[in-house]
Chains A and B, each alone.
Chain A
Amino acid sequence: MENRLRVLRAERSWSQQDLAEKLEVSRQSVNAIETGKYDPSLPLAFRIAELFGLAIEEIFVSPASRSSRAI
């Protein structure tokens, strides 16, 4: 799933490892989510959103909205 995680992390000068430690997940998890290879569960998506103080939809791009924009 497309997302703004890398940008949000860069704005705070956090490394993937820094973010992984804050979320209590592995660095591989952060990398997989950032690159869109893995879609986080709803609880993890909420943890990410709460960490950045944003709503989930401000971080993750809904696949439905992307396809509707394409139309």
Chain B
Amino acid sequence: MVARTPAWIRYNIRIVWLSLVYSAFLIFAVYGFKHGMVGGPASYVVAILPALPIIGIFAAIGRYLVEEQDEYVRMLMVRQTLWASGFTLSLATIWGFLDNFQLVGHIDGYWIVVVWFFGLGIGAIVNKLTLGAAGC
């Protein structure tokens, strides 16, 4: 369990809001495309809408690292993001070659983000095992 620092509380509030916005944008985009309500250049805007709050989550993580005054807690989060990035890039590279040689199916690009968030969990486990504290 990470320390409930003021920066951590602000980070969590941002994540909750961005998650709500993501849900709203995703429902709006899926509904719009399913019912043929969007077309032309606007369809690109609507398709990108759910990505914006996800990008916001990346920004929120960066903001948290800037705002966090507790250097140890900040280091835990940095380690988590490094593990997440290393895990995701490794998996993407492996999958890319497997895909290239037609040994696995093609997957949608946004799964990279899902894997990265999963990687944050791996980072938290590594933190817990090596330092005794998980992080965010």
The answer to whether A and B belong to the same complex is yes
The proximity string for B residues 66-96 relative to A, scoring 1 for CB distances below 8 Å and 0 otherwise, is 0001111101000000000000000000000
Contact across chains for B71 and A40 when beta carbons are under 8 A apart: yes
How close is B23's CB to chain A, nearest CB, in angstroms?
32
Contact across chains for A38 and B5 when beta carbons are under 8 A apart: no
A29 part of interface (Cβ distance < 8 Å): yes
How close is B109's CB to chain A, nearest CB, in angstroms?
37
Q: How far is the CA of A25 from the CA of B132 in the complex (A)?
A: 17
Interface positions, chain A 6-37, Cβ under 8 Å from B, are 24-29, 31-33, 35, 37
Q: How far is the CA of A32 from the CA of B135 in the complex (A)?
A: 13
Name the contact of A44 in the complex, choosing from B2, B71, B130 (C-beta under 8 A): B71
Interface size class of A (residues with CB under 8 A): 10 to 19
Q: How far is the CA of A61 from the CA of B69 in the complex (A)?
A: 25
How close is B26's CB to chain A, nearest CB, in angstroms?
35
Q: How far is the CA of A25 from the CA of B7 in the complex (A)?
A: 12
Contact across chains for A28 and B73 when beta carbons are under 8 A apart: yes
Q: How far is the CA of A35 from the CA of B2 in the complex (A)?
A: 17
Contact across chains for A28 and B2 when beta carbons are under 8 A apart: yes
Beyond A24-B69, A26-B5, A38-B131, 9 extra complex contacts between A and B, CB < 8 Å: A25-B72, A26-B73, A27-B3, A28-B73, A29-B3, A29-B70, A29-B73, A32-B132, A32-B133
16 of the cross-chain contacts (CB-CB < 8 Å) are A25-B72, A26-B3, A26-B5, A28-B72, A28-B132, A28-B133, A29-B70, A31-B133, A32-B72, A32-B133, A35-B132, A37-B130, A37-B132, A38-B131, A40-B72, A44-B71
A-B residue pairs, 8 tightest by C-beta: A26-B3, A29-B72, A28-B133, A26-B70, A25-B70, A37-B131, A38-B72, A32-B72
